[in-house]
């Protein structure tokens, strides 16, 4: 285990470890506290694990995965999530209830993009 991975291997909230939000290519992390608070609230409402499939992304990794240039992942304001054994529409309703500012619905890949952008609400579907 490399040094950055060891440093990131800490519990930062109930049910979440900092390493879950780390960039896969460089292991660096940037995570806004409001994003974490809302994810914890979502986890509490769902009463089941929330898997972070994409948290912070450095610019090179963001380009590699085809992310937009101004991605909120690159500044620690976004996470893509999956929750096992829950309908994606139901998950979307819970995310709306928690009031994430940005919500992307990716039905074919079965995940939600959630963010806490400081601007007005945004919703989209792929």
Three-state DSSP at 115 gives strand
| pLDDT tens sequence across 73-83 | 999 999 999 99
**pLDDT higher than 70, residue 115:** yes
Q: List the one residue out of 122, 53, 48, 107 whose CA is nearest residue 82.
A: 53
Tokens linked to 110: 């079965």
Q: Mean pLDDT across the stretch 40-52?
A: 97
Confirm or reject CATH 3.30.1380.10 for domain 3-125, answering yes or no.
yes
Check residue 73 and report its DSSP letter.
G
Helix axes 88-98, 33-46, angle to 10 degrees: 130
> How far is residue 49's CA from residue 75's CA, in Å, rounded to a whole number?
24
The per-residue pLDDT for range 8-20, each reduced to its tens digit, is 888 888 899 999 9
- The structural domains of the chain, with segments of one domain joined by +, span 3-125
Per-residue pLDDT tens digits for 91-111:
999 999 999 999 999 999 999
Q: Specify whether the CB–CB gap between 47 and 58 falls below 8 A.
A: no
């Amino acid at each position: 285990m490399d040094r950055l991975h060891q440093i990131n291997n800490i519990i930062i909230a109930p049910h979440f470890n900092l390493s879950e939000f780390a960039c896969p290519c460089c292991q660096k992390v940037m995570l806004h506290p409001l994003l974490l608070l809302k994810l914890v609230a979502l986890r509490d409402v769902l009463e089941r694990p929330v898997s972070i499939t994409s948290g912070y992304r450095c610019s090179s990794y963001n380009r590699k995965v085809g992310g937009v240039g101004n991605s909120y992942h690159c500044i620690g304001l976004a996470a893509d999530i999956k929750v096992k054994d829950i309908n994606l529409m139901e998950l979307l309703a819970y995310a709306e209830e928690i009031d994430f500012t940005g919500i992307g619905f990716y039905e074919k890949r079965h995940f939600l993009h959630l963010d806490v952008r400081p601007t007005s609400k945004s919703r989209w579907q792929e």
